[in-house]
Amino acid sequence: MGDKNEVKPNRMGLFFVIGIIAIAGFVYWNNSRPQIQVIPYSSFQAYLERNEVNAVKIINNNIIEGTIQNGGGRFRTLIPYNDPTLLPALEEKKVNISGQISGGGFWGLVREWLPWIIFIILFVVFNRQAQLPQSRAMQFTKNKAKRFQNDAEKVTFEDVAGQKDAKYELEEVVSFLKDPEKYQKMGAKIPKGVLLVGMPGTGKTLMARAVAGEADVPFFHMSGSDFVELFVGVGASRVRDLFTEARKNAPCIIFIDELDAVGRSRGAGLGGGHDEREQTLNQLLVEMDGFDQKETVIMLAATNRPDVLDPALLRPGRFDRQVTIAMPDIKEREAIFKIHLEKIPLADEIDVEKLARATPGMSGAQIANMINEAALYAARYNHEKVSETDFDEARDKVIMGVARKTLVISSKERRMTAYHEAGHALLHYYLKHADPLHKVTIVPHGQALGMAMSLPEEDSYSRTRGWIEDRIAICYGGWAAEKLFFDETTTGTKADLEQASEMARRMVCEWGMAEGIGPVSYGEDEAPIFLGREIARHKNYSEDTAQKIDKAVIDILESSRKHAETILHEHKTGLEKLAEALLEKETMTDAEVRELLGI
């Protein structure tokens, strides 16, 4: 922290205390002066009559002030009517008369109002100060960023199991932070912002801390939800504080967890009213742009909803790199178990591989949680060491806990997923135009329970009809495999069918690839009217053509589906082998599949 910022709040505080003391002193002084008693005019006349008044001051012709003899004290009275007897009476009693015009009134007013005036001035000055950037005068604008730097909290890549790909990508960030000059000399542009994308509990926060630990630089950690407060402007001022602090500590890492809390698309939804969030987001964008190449501050952010982020956040110079933090497969789960089991006393019979096998679909956080639960059970039952039964109970508890969050996969579901993905995967080998398979997995990814990824042989921007038809057939692979082995299909086919239908429709309407329809483009794409991402299609053809289009689309879908079914039927044993292997290994690469099937 800089000195300037340290001094300000203290000086402000001192100013405030002195002000309060001044007010209190003034009030005391004002009150301790001889009190003026306000008395009725008739009483004044009585005092005068009894010779108890010997000097008066007449103010503005309508107020009389004076002192009553014999300890009666000072008095004041209002002359209620134009009394012609007043002067003669005063003269008769030989009272010393003086006069005054209005001045006393003004000063009296000032005396009465002074405490309030001081108070108001103080309040205004104080508040103004609080709104200046970087001020810490008001506690609630204070930066809540946490900073880890001491060795006890230090995390390195070794503490993160698996995530080979992510670590590989983040290595570059680490090496830049370690030796920025090396990169600057080369004039190389280093990513300013890296977005870690992954499902909850996959270790995004852990990974960000590991990057800081590896590079051995300070780490400023703040959660997106910390920025969004009740008061408009607080979030923006926190962002400013965070970046100011970080700049002073460069090289360092700023980590914004749950970026989606601040980073949602601006103006999404009708009615707006997200002033605070938008201001904060704008400030964030401004600060990110404010970095120059010499500043070695790297921004990391984590989210499990990259789809809702404001596109401005993902532009070049901002979070233009994405690193996927994936759910662990069986081997990685084993590694996670190993890391976390180190800290607890284990019974001898514990088989880590078996634990990993028994926890499909669990994230790193859930595994860590399960191990903790197991230790709690062991303690409750006074076990010497954590035993297999403790783990069984803990697993059930964790699985029940997450059941509502849809992550849990029943064994039947898992089986169907394996056959489904095997169906997709196998088609890559037996369709003429299909891209080669990259890998196939039954580890959940986002909404999907599994995935069969292909690897295009070359970048290509235009596709042939054969390739698209094979692509559609691959989409049907999951559906066809489910039908072949279970005689029923699941809702897991929804995305596949959507994709297939979309491609078929475009073949007909946009790419002119359907027989009997001809190379004509039907309908045109419209930019989204509001902020919805959907694309509306304008109909510019007749009802008759519409029917022809529908028929052509269905023809394409049917023939691709039959093609898929035929191939899978022919290779039923291979399919079964692949599915069973997937249940075992969860993830398989192209080479592993080829070896298994001997192709």
Residues engaged in binding Zn ion (CB under 5 A): 478, 496
CB of 202 vs ligand ADP, minimal distance in Å: 4
Q: Which does 336 bind (CB under 5 to 8 A by kind): Mg ion, Zn ion, ligand ADP, none?
A: ligand ADP
CB of 229 vs Zn ion, minimal distance in Å: 43
In the list 200, 272, 316, 528, the residue contacting ligand ADP (rule: CB under 6 A) is 200
Quick check: 160 binds ligand ADP (CB under 6 A)?
A: yes
Q: Alpha-carbon distance 230 to 237, whole Å?
A: 13
- CA torsion through residues 62, 63, 66, 69, sign: positive
In the list 193, 198, 213, 224, the residue contacting ligand ADP (rule: CB under 6 A) is 198
CB of 339 vs Mg ion, minimal distance in Å: 17
CB of 168 vs Mg ion, minimal distance in Å: 21
Amino acid at position 412, single letter: K
Which residues are within 8 A (CB) of 506 and not within 5 positions of it... i.e. 6 or more apart? none
What is the DSSP-derived secondary structure letter of residue 448?
A: B
Nearest to 210 by CA among 74, 311, 339: 339
In the list 135, 143, 205, 359, the residue contacting ligand ADP (rule: CB under 6 A) is 205
Quick check: 202 binds Mg ion (CB under 5 A)?
A: no
Which CB, 249 or 369, lies closer to ligand ADP?
A: 369
Q: Which stretch binds ligand ADP (CB under 6 A): 3-11, 89-97, 194-202, 584-592?
A: 194-202
Q: Which does 496 bind (CB under 5 to 8 A by kind): Zn ion, ligand ADP, Mg ion, none?
A: Zn ion
Q: Which does 206 bind (CB under 5 to 8 A by kind): Zn ion, Mg ion, ligand ADP, none?
A: ligand ADP
Nearest to 405 by CA among 444, 357, 370: 444
Both tokens assigned to 562: 């039959």
* Residue nearest Mg ion, Cβ-based: 205
CB of 305 vs ligand ADP, minimal distance in Å: 12
Quick check: 204 binds ligand ADP (CB under 6 A)?
A: yes
Quick check: 162 binds ligand ADP (CB under 6 A)?
A: yes
CB of 406 vs Mg ion, minimal distance in Å: 19
Peptide bond into 436 cis (omega under 30): no
Q: Alpha-carbon distance 246 to 335, whole Å?
A: 34
Which CB, 343 or 533, lies closer to ligand ADP?
A: 343
Contact call for residues 422 and 403 (beta carbons, < 8 A): no
Quick check: 161 binds ligand ADP (CB under 6 A)?
A: yes
Contacts 24+ apart (CB under 8 A), 26-29: 26/114, 26/115, 26/118, 27/115
Which CB, 215 or 578, lies closer to ligand ADP?
A: 215
Buried b (16+ CB within 10 A) or exposed e, 428-449: bbbbeebbebebbbbbbeeeeb
Both tokens assigned to 299: 């921004």
User: In the annotation, is 421 catalytic?
Assistant: yes
CB of 304 vs ligand ADP, minimal distance in Å: 7
Pairing of strands 53-59, 96-100: parallel
In the list 141, 143, 163, 205, the residue contacting Mg ion (rule: CB under 5 A) is 205
Nearest to 212 by CA among 274, 148, 273: 148
Q: Which residue has the tokens 């104080």?
A: 126
Q: Which does 475 bind (CB under 5 to 8 A by kind): Zn ion, ligand ADP, Mg ion, none?
A: none
The one catalytic residue among 373, 421, 469, 565: 421
Restricted to residues 279-318, the positions that interact with ligand ADP (CB under 6 A) are 302
Nearest to 244 by CA among 133, 404, 140, 160: 133
**Active site members:** 421
Query: Footprint of ligand ADP on this chain (CB under 6 A)?
Result: 160-163, 198, 200-206, 302, 336, 339, 364-365, 368
